[in-house]
């Protein structure tokens, strides 16, 4: 049981507990209350995240031991968000049409699977190499979903990333239109500025879809922290 979020994560034990719950894997740990055990547990947790290709920015062992709120919150958010995106990727990979599966594979430039081999397997079995590829490419799966929503909305923007492609605000509005066409008039987006489109999209998200406003339309571009929050928003859109 966690009584104090910032204090209870300082020895690394609760951090390993969280990783066990989110990943479903057993995490070995050092027993004891000394600094050596604390550092060892935190190091194991961070190494596990690194092996999962989860990028950690400005998160280090001393700051976790010191219980710095911004570091602890950022770390927990990164872990939870990553596994929620993986869950979304699995959902997309198992429920999408066969053509969507092939698109997922093609999104990953490192994939060694040919489209022919992908088409020969209609549904990837859990634990199979293809299923692991979907999990590794979780963000790309989310990107595919965004593209599908834009296609449904009749939006011709080629969404290539989660940065520059979003600056005009049109992609936000297209996703909202795909989910709730009664809320969005996409024709007006062509005559508005980027800032006006972003402001309208965030207003609709907050007032109509009950999604908290997490991004600032005045920024012009999104920071890495805002980008993680942005991925969370996409999951909220998906589950709406």
Whether pTM exceeds 0.85 = no
Measure the CA–CA gap between 4 and 94, rounded to whole angstroms: 39
Measure the CA–CA gap between 184 and 164, rounded to whole angstroms: 22
* 224 contacts 57 by C-beta, under 8 angstroms: yes
Tokens of 24: 């479903």
Please report, to the nearest 10 degrees, the dihedral formed by the alpha carbons of residues 13, 14, 16, 19 taken in order. 180
Is domain 5-67 in CATH 2.160.10.10, yes or no?
Answer: no
Residue 182 pLDDT: 94
Q: Is the pLDDT of residue 119 over 50?
A: no
**Count of all residues that appear for the chain in the document:** 240
Measure the CA–CA gap between 164 and 136, rounded to whole angstroms: 23
Range with the lowest mean pLDDT among 44-53, 54-63, 90-99, 118-127? 118-127
Residue 30 pLDDT: 85
pLDDT, average across residues 136-145: 67
pLDDT, average across residues 47-58: 81
Number of Cβ within 10 Å of residue 159's Cβ equals 20
User: Backbone phi, then psi, for 41, in 5-degree steps?
Assistant: -65, -45
Q: Is 27 left (phi over 0), alpha (psi -120 to 50) or beta?
A: beta
Q: Which residues touch 173 (CB under 8 Å, ≥6 apart)?
A: 184, 186, 189, 197, 200, 201, 204
**pLDDT classification of 197: cutoffs 50, 70, 90:** very high
Measure the CA–CA gap between 196 and 206, rounded to whole angstroms: 15
Tokens of 201: 């999209």
Tens of pLDDT, residue by residue over 149-188, are 899 999 999 998 888 888 899 999 999 999 899 999 999 9
Kindly write down the DSSP assignment for every residue of 77-105, as one continuous string: HHHHHHHHHHHHHHHHHHHS-HHHHHHHH
Residue 83 pLDDT: 73
Measure the CA–CA gap between 123 and 102, rounded to whole angstroms: 11
Residue 161 pLDDT: 85
Measure the CA–CA gap between 2 and 78, rounded to whole angstroms: 19
Range with the lowest mean pLDDT among 11-20, 31-40, 112-121, 215-224? 112-121
Mean pLDDT across the chain: 75
**pLDDT classification of 49: cutoffs 50, 70, 90:** confident
Q: How many Å separate Cα 49 from the centre of its chain?
A: 14
What are the residue ranges of CATH 1.10.418.10 in the chain? 5-67, 83-239
Q: How many Å separate Cα 119 from the centre of its chain?
A: 27
Is domain 83-239 in CATH 3.40.50.10470, yes or no?
Answer: no
């Amino acid at each position: 049981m966690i009584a104090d979020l910032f204090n209870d994560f300082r020895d690394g034990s609760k951090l390993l507990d969280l990783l066990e719950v989110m990943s479903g894997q057993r995490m070995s740990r050092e027993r004891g209350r000394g600094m050596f055990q604390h550092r060892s547990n935190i190091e194991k947790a961070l190494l596990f995240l690194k092996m999962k290709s989860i990028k950690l920015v400005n998160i280090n062992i001393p700051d976790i031991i010191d219980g710095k709120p911004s570091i602890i919150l950022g770390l927990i958010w990164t872990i939870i968000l990553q596994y929620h995106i993986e869950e979304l990727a699995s959902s997309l990979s198992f429920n999408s049409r066969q053509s969507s599966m092939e698109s997922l594979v093609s999104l990953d430039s490192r994939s060694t699977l040919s489209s022919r081999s992908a088409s020969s397997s209609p549904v990837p079995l859990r634990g199979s190499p293809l299923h692991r590829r979907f999990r590794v490419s979780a963000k790309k799966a989310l990107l595919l979903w965004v593209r599908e929503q834009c296609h449904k909305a009749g939006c011709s923007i080629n969404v290539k990333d989660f940065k520059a492609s979003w600056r005009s605000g049109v992609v936000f509005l297209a996703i909202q239109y795909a989910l709730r066409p009664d809320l969005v008039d996409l024709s007006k987006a062509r005559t508005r500025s980027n800032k006006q489109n972003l402001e309208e999209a965030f207003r609709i998200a907050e007032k109509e879809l009950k999604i908290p406003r997490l991004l600032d339309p005045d920024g012009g571009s999104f920071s890495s922290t805002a980008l993680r929050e942005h991925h969370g928003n996409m999951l909220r859109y998906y589950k709406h």
